[in-house]
């Protein structure tokens, strides 16, 4: 069953929903609503990583996320902490989070690897080349799919050598992070190359700019949910372990269809006893 990770940005400046969930009560209510609509994981982030975003002090990031993480985990919600800072990740794990979703794959903070080694948390290793304020200048590849696959495989190997069990690692191609629209579509179109690395793959395309560029009139972020759900379904068809999204209800429908599609493709042929013909009639 594909995992749906619902996005909860408790930030004032995220590209799609900045400022909507900065109040703790509103954030928790929204997260619980996503769980009711089918989210398996709530990904709580306190620092925007949109292109051009400036870094946030660790103390401020922790102030934003920890009360929300605590309340959600107290209510039995599976929580992922979206952070590049080991100190924030450690505090969130202490508060009950079980997944660290680091857009830098552990490269932004030299203490992150040691934290992951010392805990039993799962770790999302995203492909990353630099911070948001300069990443667009780093979108240069010989073959983006092969380059990203090689980088992720190497980064995972580093963590495994340090003592992280492979079953705790999840890979993310980092759509939009030092990637052009052409790069994003290449990674999605050849997602099987990343799945073939043998580790779970998380795809985060929800509401991103390359989807708006594709749609007529350059749809706003909130108008990209149908396209986002379509990408999620296709990613699942091609082997994604999970998808990270804003609109959980629409994505749940799309992913359930894709999961059923995959089950049908993998099912063994069975003798038709006439039931199927009666159902079609």
d(C-alpha 30, C-alpha 248), whole Å: 11
Side-chain half-sphere CA neighbours of 161 within 13 A: 6
| Catalytic residue of the set 207, 208, 224, 252 | 208
Instruction: Check 244, 263, 277, 278 and give the catalytic one.
Output: 244
Kindly report the number of other CB atoms within 10 A of residue 33's CB atom: 13
Sheet holding 169-172, edge to edge: 169-172, 122-126, 99-102, 79-82, 41-45, 3-9, 242-245, 202-203
Let me know if 208 is a catalytic residue: yes
| 88-102 CB burial, b ≥16 within 10 A, e <16 | bbbbbbebbbbbbbb
Strand partners, 42: 6, 79
Q: Is 193 a known active-site residue?
A: no
Q: Which residues are catalytic?
A: 208, 244
């Amino acid at each position: 069953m594909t995992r749906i990770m619902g996005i909860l940005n408790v930030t004032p400046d995220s590209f799609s929903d900045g400022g909507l969930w900065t109040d703790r009560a509103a954030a928790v209510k929204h997260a619980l609503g996503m769980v009711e609509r089918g989210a398996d994981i709530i990904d709580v982030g306190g620092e925007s990583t949109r292109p051009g975003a400036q870094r946030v002090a660790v103390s401020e990031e922790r102030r934003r996320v920890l009360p929300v993480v605590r309340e959600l985990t107290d209510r039995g919600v599976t929580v992922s902490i979206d952070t590049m800072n080991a100190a924030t990740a450690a505090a969130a794990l202490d508060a009950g989070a079980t997944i660290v979703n680091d857009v830098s794959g552990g490269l932004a903070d030299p203490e992150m690897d040691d934290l992951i080694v010392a805990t039993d948390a799962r770790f999302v290793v995203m492909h990353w080349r630099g911070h948001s304020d300069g990443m667009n200048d780093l979108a240069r590849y010989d073959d983006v799919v092969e380059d990203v696959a090689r980088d992720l495989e190497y980064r995972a190997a580093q963590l495994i050598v340090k003592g992280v069990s492979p079953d705790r690692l999840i890979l993310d191609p980092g759509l939009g992070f030092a990637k052009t629209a052409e790069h994003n579509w290449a990674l999605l179109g050849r997602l099987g190359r990343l799945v073939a690395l043998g580790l779970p793959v998380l795809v985060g395309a929800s509401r991103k700019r390359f989807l708006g560029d594709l749609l007529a009139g350059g749809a706003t972020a909130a108008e990209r949910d149908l396209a986002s759900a379509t990408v999620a379904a296709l990613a699942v068809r091609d082997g994604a372990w999970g998808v990270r999204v804003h609109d959980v209800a629409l994505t749940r429908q799309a992913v359930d269809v894709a999961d059923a599609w995959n089950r049908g493709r993998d099912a063994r042929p069975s003798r038709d006893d006439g039931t199927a013909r009666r159902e079609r009639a």
